[in-house]
Structure 1
Amino acid sequence: MVTIVEAQAHDMEAICRLSNQINEQHHQNLPEIFRKPTSLLQDANYWQTFMGKQHSIVLVANIGNAIVGAIAATVQLSDSTPFLVPCLRCRILTIVVDEVHQRQGIGKALMSAVENWARAKGAKTIGLEVMAFNRQAFDFYELLGFEILTHKMQKDI
């Protein structure tokens, strides 16, 4: 059975191990944008940025004593852009489930836990970005009720 809990500092090595899995996937698909993982703890500072803060959270999914998934999210008021309706919005920054534990409901449990956290914080929406190459993730988010809001584009110059 999977349990979802707030991440602690002693979870960092396991979180970074998972992070390296998704980093490798991104690097393989877009090596001109994403770095190849070179050390276990290269993302530790990134994850620590969101731990133990009032407006952000890192949750981990556990099966027994093993961390098999992680998610980071923030809640922010969108009042700094004058043409947007002020609204408290949750943004999922990263979600990763161990490759050997995917399609077992762990990602859904992590997303549900973040949604509950965001709702408790007063957020009215929840959003995220997904890379165009990651069709599996896109389909997953659609199943959870996410809809396309924008298309982020770029070109080399």
Structure 2
Amino acid sequence: MELRLRTATWEDYDAVNTIIREGQEEHAEALPDRFAKLDHVVAMGWYRSFSDREDKEIIVAEIGQEVVGVAMLEMKQSPNYEALVPRKYAYLNELAVASVHQRQGIGKRLYQAAAEWARAREAESLELNVWEFNERALLFYASLGMLTLNRTLTTNLVK
């Protein structure tokens, strides 16, 4: 069947949540001190905040009538701080593909659609965060030409 990308609707909430929850569970297993295991990872209020806004978008990938992937993105501005050059960029909050549909080019298509959405809004860049343990995601984004911009370092102070 053919893959189709479209803007998400209210009816896609449960499917989107299920797909993102898979990634959340991977994160909770890798970093249980940082990530909780939840039934509803995507709060309904947050999901709703993406509807009917020019500066936010949820793109779903579907095969037939099944939602198999999702990208959630929004436009942002650099902080108003004189040491930073003012800039407008798109932030990819989530990019996830159902585990049974991974490695079929769906993530790449979602990423490309997110980049097109950002370009149409004159974003200077597309940015996202990836946790260091997530080697598959790091390799995936590197294969798309993304580069590391910065790193967050930590020291555990509790034994």
Give the TM-score band, short-chain normalised. Answer: over 0.9
Q: Report the counterpart of residue 9 of structure 1 in structure 2.
A: 10
Aligned ranges for residues 5-154 of structure 1 at < 5 Å? 5-37=6-38, 39-40=39-40, 43-154=43-154
- Aligned 8 A contact 2:24 2:35 in 1: yes
Q: Shift of residue 27 of structure 1?
A: 0.4
CA distance in 1: counterparts of 2:116 and 2:81, whole angstroms: 26
Worse overlay, 40-49 or 97-106: 40-49
| Structure 1 unaligned blocks of 5 or more | none
Which is further off, 15-24 or 45-54? 45-54
Deviations 1:14-49 (A, max 9, x none): 101111111111100011110112x24763333333
Distance 1:133 1:52 in 2: 35
Aligned-residue offset at 1:81: 2.6
How many equivalent residue pairs? 156
8 Å contact 2:24–2:41 — kept in the other structure?
A: no
1:130 touches 1:137 (CA, 8 Å); kept in 2? yes
**Cα distance per residue 1:77-131 (max 9 Å; x no partner):** 2252321111111111111100000000100010000100000001011111101
* Structure 2 unaligned blocks of 5 or more: none
Does structure 1 conserve the Cα–Cα contact (< 8 Å) formed by 2:20 and 2:41? Answer: no
Scaled by the length of structure 2, what TM-score is found? 0.92
Following TM superposition, where does structure 1 have runs of at least 4 consecutive aligned residues deviating by more than 2 angstroms?
A: 39-52
| Equivalent position SS for 2:59 | strand
Q: Report the Cα offset of residue 2 of structure 1.
A: 1.0
Equivalent position SS for 1:28 = helix
- In the superposition, relative to structure 1, how do residues 108 and 20 fare at CA in structure 2: closer, same or farther (>3 Å)? same
